[in-house]
Structure 1
């Protein structure tokens, strides 16, 4: 008896993408597919091939790991402050090999802030 993973729905894909702080275009680049394909999947016009499930799971796990690492880095601070990026160009200047976006980094910061009671500010804002 085979136990197949249920096919991901368009709503699940969109929710996951939004949770990751990614645009459809950026997710499409990460998955090496056409952005129209992401839109079609999210709107339920076309089924999402099962082969993309593991890739999405890896992105979610990498994000969870980033949250855990950032949370550990502020754990000992009495007034934790997280610094993030205003734009993708700022993010990429600081992370030239980065596969993520400034929005992704901000959502990681938001999760850590929620867990650790930390504040968030932009790099270079003088806080």
Structure 2
């Protein structure tokens, strides 16, 4: 992955460098170094980032299916709220007519 791809993927996931570092078990300064093009991630770190992207994609697929049946609640869970807001943004990008609502807490 290029430094731009890493930065774009992190933003697509709705995560800060600190949050992505927590997810991957990597120092956030390392994440920033990747994004600045100072050095490249190891193959295992790149695979972990791609796996995280695949997980986000799978959650998006579930929301797309739910949107066909009516309003979708913005999910919540163990991850940062920004992860779920990014999912909602991707949903309305893919399906502009999708209705999203906040999950009652």
Which TM bucket (shorter chain)? 0.7 to 0.9
Aligned residues: 103
The answer for unaligned runs of 5 or more in structure 2 is none
Q: 1:46 Cα deviation (Å)?
A: 2.0
The answer for unaligned runs of 5 or more in structure 1 is 1-7, 86-90
Q: 1:102 Cα deviation (Å)?
A: 1.1
Structure 2 counterparts to residues 48-63 of structure 1, below 5 A: 48-63=41-56
Deviation by residue 1:14-69 (Cα, 9 ceiling, x = unmatched): 01111111110010011111111111111111222122121111111111110111
| TM-score, normalised by the number of residues in structure 2 | 0.84
More helix by share: 2
Between structure 1 and structure 2, the one with the greater Rg is 1
| TM-score, normalised by the number of residues in structure 1 | 0.71
Question: What is the Cα-based RMSD across aligned positions, in Å?
Answer: 1.8
Structure 2 counterparts to residues 44-123 of structure 1, below 5 A: 44-77=37-70, 81-84=71-74, 91=76, 95=77, 98=78, 100-116=79-95, 117-123=97-103
Quote the Cα distance in structure 1 between the aligned partners of 2:80 and 2:23.
11
After TM superposition, where is structure 1 displaced by more than 3 Å over at least 4 residues in a row?
Answer: none
